[in-house]
């Protein structure tokens, strides 16, 4: 559940996915892998399409064991046209990340691959906390709860569907 919780939170926040409104879950088995380590079971890879009761579809794909790459692709499913595509680390930033990786080989890689985003997020949240407002586009505790509910709903369902 934890391995794709950020992606599930995005599905909740921007596409209205909720455990209470999911009408279909389509796993893409080639992109799914469940591992049990030290008695804990979770998805190392997940690739699913969720459909809610409004007919909204969102595909969530995450592979937490494939390295430090991170990308986003938004596709219009009615015609297959890619509306948005971006790599998180490319160009000059890739050089800075490589230098940080070499300088700090004992760090978790997300500490340097996502440092820019974390710094911006902290600044935005701190400014809004001082102002007593909620920053637009930033997930709230309500979204976090919905993402956890969605994860709890999906885990046994996907394990069952993928066991077939």
Question: Residue 41 has what pLDDT?
Answer: 79
Q: pTM higher than 0.85 for the full model?
A: no
Specify whether the CB–CB gap between 104 and 112 falls below 8 A: yes
pLDDT tens for the 164 residues of the chain, in order:
566 888 899 999 999 999 999 999 999 999 998 888 898 878 888 999 999 999 999 999 888 777 667 777 888 878 889 898 888 788 888 898 889 989 999 988 878 888 888 899 999 999 999 999 999 989 999 999 999 999 999 989 998 998 86
């Amino acid at each position: 559940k934890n391995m794709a919780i950020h992606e599930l939170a995005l599905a909740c926040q921007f596409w209205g996915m909720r455990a209470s409104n999911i009408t279909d879950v389509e796993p893409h088995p080639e992109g799914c892998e469940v591992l049990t380590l030290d008695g804990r079971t979770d998805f190392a890879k997940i690739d699913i399409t969720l459909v809610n009761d409004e007919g909204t579809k969102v595909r969530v794909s995450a592979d937490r064991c494939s390295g430090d790459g991170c990308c986003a692709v938004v596709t219009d499913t009615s015609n297959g046209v890619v509306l948005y595509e971006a790599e998180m680390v490319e160009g000059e930033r890739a050089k800075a990340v490589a230098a940080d990786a070499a300088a700090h080989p004992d760090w978790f890689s997300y500490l340097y691959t996502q440092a820019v985003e974390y710094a911006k997020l902290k600044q935005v949240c701190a400014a809004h906390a001082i102002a007593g407002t909620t920053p637009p586009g930033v997930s709230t505790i309500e979204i976090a709860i919905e993402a956890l509910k969605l994860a709890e709903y999906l885990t046994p369902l996907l394990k069952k569907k993928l066991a077939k």
